């Protein structure tokens, strides 16, 4: 029995490929049954108006891939060994029924959870965007980067083609260890350092080590969404501890068994407070008494404007209970995707295993460049330069706010790349302010939109506007706040 094969030849793929693909699809769709006879190459070539050789080549490929076979002097057939019934494509059954059936049968998605937004979904609507955590693109050290990159590319050898140590290349881990002593007061060996894709991957690594369904975890409140959502996704019960201007209120830490307390002591996210020394030590005491680990997220500590940077809690830790997390996302750029953990000695081995299981390590070239960038002194110079730039921007932002709104209440001024503004009582709620600002092309954010979650609601929850200033120049900052003042004046009761 001869079967009509309808092939519409199109531009694009080769004729041979189109014939191959069309017959293959018809076999998979069940339109060409197993064992059925195909037209001869001569007939098909005439039918399609293509050379016989083209059809022969398509048939040969179908034979190689076992879709069809040839019986000498008899003809070419669809392979008889293929299963007689194929999975029914959804479009051939009645759609509703098919979908219903398939979905009830299909193994369910077991993951339940949410994720943070690191890219502003509305960025294209805005002229002036106070979105948080964006280094200024003009500060990227392109020239030094290019030079170090070309050098490393030319000497890379097998480092580009082969796997390297999943926890990071040694020269980067050494450079970080040496940087952390003077910069953050942390004494760590390269062996304790694990290179990660960024703090977000670090949070997953820590979660895999320490969290199972029902494990208690302490977070700040409000807290960075990326952390809270990650812990929750591994089954953690979150116990939020409120923060004030001096960071987490450690008197309110729970007494029960806790796996870890996640803190942002240099510049609390999003409120911006610095955890006081007294509280740091009490937090260490608490960790020692309860057996909890402290997870110190030091995301933007490179920028300290008043006084020298406070030493990290990891540098005050005498009991090997602090997991320190650092990143190059704020100090160089988030497009690099590199950060690091400093693990307590007892956790180094299991952390290496988890990291290897997670992803076999990071881009060799990026690691080598950052290592050289630190070791050569460029990194320290780069930090001094952008610290100066960001300080001027912070001052411009504070001045502009004061000029337009008079006496205002701000927090987070001592460092970092953003501040939190407590809205006066006469102002609308934060999400309304955000919407008004968006209407005039200005991005200004409620806590929720700024990737913070407020687990223990209080009267401040909808009274905070978060303003990132690092990627806006002074003119943009002044213009943005002026526009905001213009639209808010109409709304202030």
Task: Select from 204, 264, 268, 434 the one that contacts a copy of itself (CB under 8 A).
Answer: 204
Task: Select from 157, 256, 377, 406 the one that contacts a copy of itself (CB under 8 A).
Answer: 157
Told to check if 107 binds a copy of itself by CB under 8 A, we report: yes
**Cβ distance to a copy of itself smaller for residue 222 or 309:** 309
| Cβ neighbourhood burial of 17 (10 Å; 0-12, 13-18, 19+) | middle
- Helix H segments across 291-363? 348-359
CA distances 423 to 40, 104, 220, 460, Å, are: 80, 49, 21, 9
DSSP-assigned beta bridge partners for residue 47: none
Told to check if 165 binds a copy of itself by CB under 8 A, we report: yes
Task: Supply the minimum distance, in Å, between the C-beta of residue 438 and a copy of itself.
Answer: 19
Task: Select from 229, 299, 379, 427 the one that contacts a copy of itself (CB under 8 A).
Answer: 229
Angle at which helices 170-184 and 364-375 pack, to 10 degrees? 40
Told to check if 151 binds a copy of itself by CB under 8 A, we report: no
Told to check if 348 binds a copy of itself by CB under 8 A, we report: no
Helix (H, G, I), strand (E, B) or coil at 400: helix
The two beta strands, 223-224 and 452-453, are antiparallel
Q: Which of residues 273-302 bind a copy of itself (CB under 8 A)?
A: 276-278, 281-282, 284-285, 287-288, 290-293
Told to check if 97 binds a copy of itself by CB under 8 A, we report: no
Q: Which of residues 469-488 bind a copy of itself (CB under 8 A)?
A: 471
| Residues that contact a copy of itself, how many (by CB under 8 A) | 131
Q: Quick one: which of 337, 411, 332, 421 has its CA closest to 372?
A: 332
Q: Which of residues 398-427 bind a copy of itself (CB under 8 A)?
A: none
Distance, C-alpha 196 to centroid of its chain: 11
**Cβ distance to a copy of itself smaller for residue 47 or 363:** 363
Told to check if 156 binds a copy of itself by CB under 8 A, we report: yes
Task: Supply the minimum distance, in Å, between the C-beta of residue 71 and a copy of itself.
Answer: 18
Q: Which stretch binds a copy of itself (CB under 8 A): 44-52, 161-169, 374-382, 416-424?
A: 161-169
- Does residue 54 contact residue 44 with C-beta atoms inside 8 Å? no
Over the range 89-111, which residues count as b (16 or more CB within 10 Å of their CB) and which as e? eeeeeeeeeeeeeeeeeeeeeee
**Cβ distance to a copy of itself smaller for residue 284 or 437:** 284
- Does residue 453 contact residue 485 with C-beta atoms inside 8 Å? no
Q: Which stretch binds a copy of itself (CB under 8 A): 148-156, 170-178, 454-462, 483-491?
A: 148-156
Task: Select from 153, 408, 456, 492 the one that contacts a copy of itself (CB under 8 A).
Answer: 153
**Cβ distance to a copy of itself smaller for residue 280 or 478:** 280
| Nearest-angstrom CA–CA distance, 177 and 190 | 6
């Amino acid at each position: 029995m001869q079967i009509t094969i309808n092939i519409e030849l199109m531009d694009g793929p080769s004729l041979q490929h189109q014939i191959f693909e069309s017959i293959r699809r018809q076999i998979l769709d069940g339109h060409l049954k197993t064992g059925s006879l195909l037209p001869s190459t001569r007939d098909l070539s005439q039918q399609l108006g293509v050379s016989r050789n083209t059809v022969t080549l398509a048939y040969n490929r179908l034979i190689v891939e076992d879709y069809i076979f040839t019986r000498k002097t008899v003809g070419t057939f669809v392979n008889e060994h293929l299963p007689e019934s194929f999975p029914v494509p959804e479009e051939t059954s009645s759609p509703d029924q098919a979908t219903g059936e398939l979905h009830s049968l299909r193994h369910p998605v077991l993951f339940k959870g949410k994720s943070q937004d690191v890219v502003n979904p509305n960025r294209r609507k805005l002229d002036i965007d106070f979105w948080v955590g964006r280094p200024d693109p003009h500060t990227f050290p392109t020239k030094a980067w290019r030079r170090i990159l070309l050098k490393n590319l030319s000497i890379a050898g097998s480092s580009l083609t082969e796997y390297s140590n999943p926890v990071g290349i040694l020269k980067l881990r050494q450079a970080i260890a040496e940087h952390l002593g003077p910069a953050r007061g942390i004494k760590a060996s390269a062996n304790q350092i694990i290179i990660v894709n960024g703090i977000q991957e670090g949070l997953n690594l820590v979660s895999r080590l320490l969290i199972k369904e029902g494990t208690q975890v302490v977070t700040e409140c409000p807290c960075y969404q990326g952390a809270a959502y990650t812990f929750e996704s591994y089954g953690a019960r979150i116990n939020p501890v409120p923060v004030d201007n001096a960071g987490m209120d450690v008197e309110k830490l729970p007494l029960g068994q806790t796996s870890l307390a996640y803190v942002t002591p240099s510049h609390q996210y999003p409120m911006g407070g610095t955890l006081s020394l007294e509280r740091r030590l009490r937090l260490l005491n608490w960790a020692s008494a309860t057996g909890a680990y402290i997870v110190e997220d030091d995301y933007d500590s490179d920028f300290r404007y008043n006084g020298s940077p406070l030493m990290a809690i990891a540098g005050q830790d005498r009991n090997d209970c602090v997991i320190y997390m650092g990143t190059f996302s704020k100090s160089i750029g988030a497009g690099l995707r590199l950060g690091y953990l400093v693990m307590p000695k007892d956790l180094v081995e299991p952390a290496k295993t988890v990291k290897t299981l997670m992803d076999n390590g990071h881009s060799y070239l990026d690691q080598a460049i950052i290592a050289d960038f630190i070791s050569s002194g460029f990194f320290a110079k780069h930090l001094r330069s952008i610290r100066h730039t960001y300080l001027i921007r912070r001052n411009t932002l504070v001045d502009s706010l004061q000029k337009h709104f008079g006496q205002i209440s701000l927090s987070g001024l001592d460092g970092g790349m953003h501040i939190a503004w407590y809205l006066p009582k006469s102002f609308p709620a934060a999400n309304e302010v955000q919407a008004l600002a968006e209407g005039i092309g200005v991005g200004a954010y409620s806590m929720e939109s700024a990737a913070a979650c407020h687990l223990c609601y209080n009267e401040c929850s909808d009274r905070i506007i978060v303003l990132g200033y690092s990627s806006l120049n002074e003119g943009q900052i002044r213009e943005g706040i002026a526009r905001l003042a213009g639209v808010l004046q109409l709304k202030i009761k």
